Structure 1
Amino acid sequence: MTNRPDGTLSEEKVFKDPVHRYIHIQDELIWQLIGTKEFQRLRRIRQLGTTFMTFHGAEHTRFNHSLGVYEIMRRMIQTLEQKEAWDKDERLVALAAALLHDVGHGPFSHSFENVFDMDHEAWTRKILLGDTEINALLSKMDPRFPEKVAQVIAKEYDNKLLVSLISSQIDADRMDYLLRDAFYTGVSYGHFDMERLLRVIRTDSNQAVFKHSGMHAVEDYIMSRYQMYWQVYFHPVTRSAEVILTKILHRARYLMETGYTFRLNPSHFRTMFEGEATLTDYLKLDESVVMFYFQEWEDERDPILSDLCRRFMHRRLLKYVECTPEKLAEKKGKIAQSFEALGVDPDWYLVHDSSSDLPYDFYRPGTEPASERVPIYLLMPDGSKRELSRESDIVLAISGKKRTDHKFYYPGDVLDEAGNDHPEVIRIRQLLGSLY
């Protein structure tokens, strides 16, 4: 197959996709980027981390999602080009940024980042600018091209319209993950009319705006996001699995730092634990590698690491109760003492976990930087624009309202094994019942 001088493929490639039906590849650069080993690694990293333990269909990957974000960006650009509101010289920068925006994610994504105090966006930048197949392809376009793509993903690019299409309160990234995650988890919450959104998208100086006639589609999107966070992303069972995953990695790190001799040397983690991981080290880590170690660590001599790994591998998760931070602070010491009496180390098995989300907001002077909350604007029939919550009562009702949820996780099976008539079990259950 001979490609054209303008960099397009002589024959369009398509991926069959359950969410968008087809993903269309017209550019040689995009086709080649998909084939790089750094992008193919995303096939081995789930989009939703431990959510598969709650919703068994949630096995989809960052690879699926990245293709989806690319496709939505392609269609956005197509719409804007038809309205003569797009700089055609920016097309490939936008498409490459959409495709590669998640290429720096590690296994189990955010849980992994929290343990190792790292940022997937920083690793994305290293992949784009380092000695990688992706960098080699981007550099062929122009020596400055990798930096342009990196700036878009970091929200530092001069073309703010382009940045807003991939990173704002309504963007290609969020549109895809809401629809995709809803599809694979089997829930109805995350569905919204993306076709309508794409039809009513317009531009206004530095950002995308939406025709007032499409306000209901925007409302639908905002509410879908709100429901998905509380019904799927913050599901307490998923969070329980994340708690155990986090404790496993912390325990392995602790053992390594204290000179413990592992039955299987955790060579893939060593530089991560020491804070000296190279890009090569990082790219060798994926979820299949992590799960291999967890399976092996079930047989470690350390009883805590062994037990935590068994819990994760065989879905023997922690139980939870709702709590308030004030009541937990007051009673956690007593709960810990009773669990210790049952042979449980509270440092590794008792966890306070909180989740919070702000579904939509607009910038208020004196608060965090405006760039963090660029509002969604509606384009009115007279050509003026209005901030979304000024026109929508539905959105106004949730604007600026940050919801926070607190849960206390504990090993319920230990209580069951000790028996309900055990004095410490009786005491623990009374204390747990008074945390909210």
Structure 2
Amino acid sequence: MEISYKHQLLPIEKVFKDPVHNDIQVQHQVILDLINAKEFQRLRRIKQLGTASFTFHGGEHSRFSHSLGVYEITRQICDIFERNFSIEKDPIDGWNDEERLVALCAALLHDVGHGPYSHTFEAIFSTNHEQFTVDIITSPFTEIYQILNKVEDGFPQKVASVITKQYPNQQVVQMISSQIDADRMDYLLRDAYFTGTQYGTFDLTRILRVIRPYNKGICFTTNGMHAVEDYIVSRYQMYMQVYFHPVSRGMEVILDHLLKYAEQLFKESPDFFERTSPLLVPFLEKSETLSDYLKLDDHVLNSYFMMWCDHPDETLSDLSKRFLNRKPLKSVKFVTGKDEPLIEDMKQLIEKIGYDTAIYTAINTSFDLPYDFYRPNAVSSRTQIELMEYDGTLIELSKQSSLVRALAGEIHGDERFYFPKEMLTQSDNLFNDIYRMFQCYIHNGKITKPN
């Protein structure tokens, strides 16, 4: 009897060697075909950490390797659930292994819609990587759709609904998207490994030992609380020490202003961009399609920036060179309300040197909520982490953990004022007094009122 594509397993499992998970095991023909699809292969050309690689030189890993890692953690969770908590053993809270394939496909494809320098690019051109993910999965013109649709009619829409959190089985949704999911667990471990930091490390093996399904989603047994605490603290530390690093943000500001300036300059000289950066033109014109989006990656943008270095417009050329040659803006912390007048004074000094402050200064705000309990009135409520007592009672994590309670419900991060580094290093005799005055505003990384 012929085996359906949905249930077709590889004769011998395919193994991808991985520095984080050692072996990533692929058993389903569907998964291997999705990995080989051109839309998924494109993720090899998109960095996971964007501009953070300018600070942590090892952080050159791709969204391709991260997506494989999320798949692998999801596969391991499915194995644990089927072995220990199957629906046959527990008809109410158990795991139905018929959900395995949709969970694995959603895990693998959850980031397939990311674009070049994703979050910066999105902010400027008003794209949305989550919507593009759904579009790639559900568009009949993509290889990914054609593979998924061979599983069964409507299967691409099923996978997309997991990513949009509309899939009816919350065990599957929370496995991929919650406050402790396969996505976050992989990127913390992977980003820590490649940046050479220890902040993101936590005991994944222990967490997989204490994870279990229940009828409304996923929870963790109480005896595993300390492993979950470790994960929460690791996530907090990674945001504070790696993702929000001032230098990475300084490069992000350069990239942001470079693309915004190109968008402005395009209106005056479209011929130059049509000649040097044709794949970007649909975005500059606000006429892009899914096909246009899939042609872009980090390497395409970098090659365009190289071409822009020779543009006669000095600002476009300078910003391109600053980005390619790692010349970030310098920064200093400031406090909203208290420091705005001083920032205006500093901007005036910067303008006297000859910099356009709209282009060469910025206020960058980076905050994160390390953990949040469920608040129904919140603008964007989160699925809280539940601990299961021995008698089956569920208790929200921060009610049990004083450590998590100290981090819960409060955002952490800072606001920084970015300016040309030359304001601290320049020694031009003509402007010496201005440089000295500017430096009087900065003390120990904070803005202070000059004497």
Is TM-score (shorter-chain normalized) higher than 0.5?
yes
Q: Report the residue type matching 2:234 in the other structure.
A: S
Is contact 2:48-2:62 (8 Å) kept?
yes
Partner of 1:154: 164
- Unaligned stretches of 5+ residues in structure 1: none
Moved more, 386-395 or 425-434: 425-434
C-alpha displacement of 1:161: 1.3
Q: Is it true that 1:435 corresponds to 2:444 in the alignment?
A: no
Partner of 2:280: 269
1:305-324 map, 5 Å: 305-324=316-335
CA distance in 2, matches of 1:66, 1:217: 23
CA distance in 2, matches of 1:335, 1:260: 35
TM-score (norm 1): 0.96
Partner of 1:94: 103
Q: Report the residue type matching 2:12 in the other structure.
A: E
Q: Report the residue type matching 1:271 in the other structure.
A: P
Moved more, 217-226 or 381-390: 381-390
Q: Is it true that 1:16 corresponds to 2:26 in the alignment?
A: no
Partner of 1:114: 123
Say which SS state the counterpart of residue 373 (structure 1) adopts.
Answer: coil
C-alpha displacement of 1:334: 2.5
Partner of 1:75: 76
Q: Is it true that 1:240 corresponds to 2:250 in the alignment?
A: yes
C-alpha displacement of 1:231: 0.5
TM-score (norm 2): 0.93
Partner of 1:330: 341
CA distance in 2, matches of 1:112, 1:396: 35
Partner of 2:422: 413
Partner of 2:64: 63
Partner of 1:123: 132
C-alpha displacement of 1:405: 0.2
Q: Is it true that 1:346 corresponds to 2:347 in the alignment?
A: no
Partner of 2:91: none
CA distance in 1, matches of 2:357, 2:313: 16
Moved more, 338-347 or 33-42: 338-347
Q: Is it true that 1:390 corresponds to 2:399 in the alignment?
A: yes
Is contact 2:276-2:307 (8 Å) kept?
no
CA distance in 1, matches of 2:37, 2:192: 28
Is contact 1:155-1:163 (8 Å) kept?
yes
Q: Is it true that 1:368 corresponds to 2:369 in the alignment?
A: no
Q: Is it true that 1:25 corresponds to 2:26 in the alignment?
A: yes
Partner of 2:367: 356
Partner of 2:308: 297
Calculate percent identity across the aligned residue pairs.
48
Q: Report the residue type matching 2:32 in the other structure.
A: W
CA distance in 1, matches of 2:424, 2:313: 22
1:119-268 map, 5 Å: 119-130=128-139, 131-259=141-269, 261-262=271-272, 264-268=275-279
CA distance in 1, matches of 2:424, 2:9: 64
Q: Report the residue type matching 2:328 in the other structure.
A: L
CA distance in 2, matches of 1:311, 1:256: 20
CA distance in 2, matches of 1:142, 1:168: 27
Moved more, 96-105 or 356-365: 356-365
Q: CA RMSD in A?
A: 1.7
Say which SS state the counterpart of residue 325 (structure 1) adopts.
Answer: coil
Q: Report the residue type matching 2:38 in the other structure.
A: K
CA distance in 2, matches of 1:125, 1:44: 20
Moved more, 251-260 or 228-237: 251-260
Q: Is it true that 1:279 corresponds to 2:299 in the alignment?
A: no
Moved more, 323-332 or 102-111: 323-332
Structure 1 stretches of 4+ moved >6 Å:
2-5
CA distance in 2, matches of 1:415, 1:301: 28
- Unaligned stretches of 5+ residues in structure 2: 87-93
Q: Report the residue type matching 2:264 in the other structure.
A: Y
Q: Report the residue type matching 1:121 in the other structure.
A: E
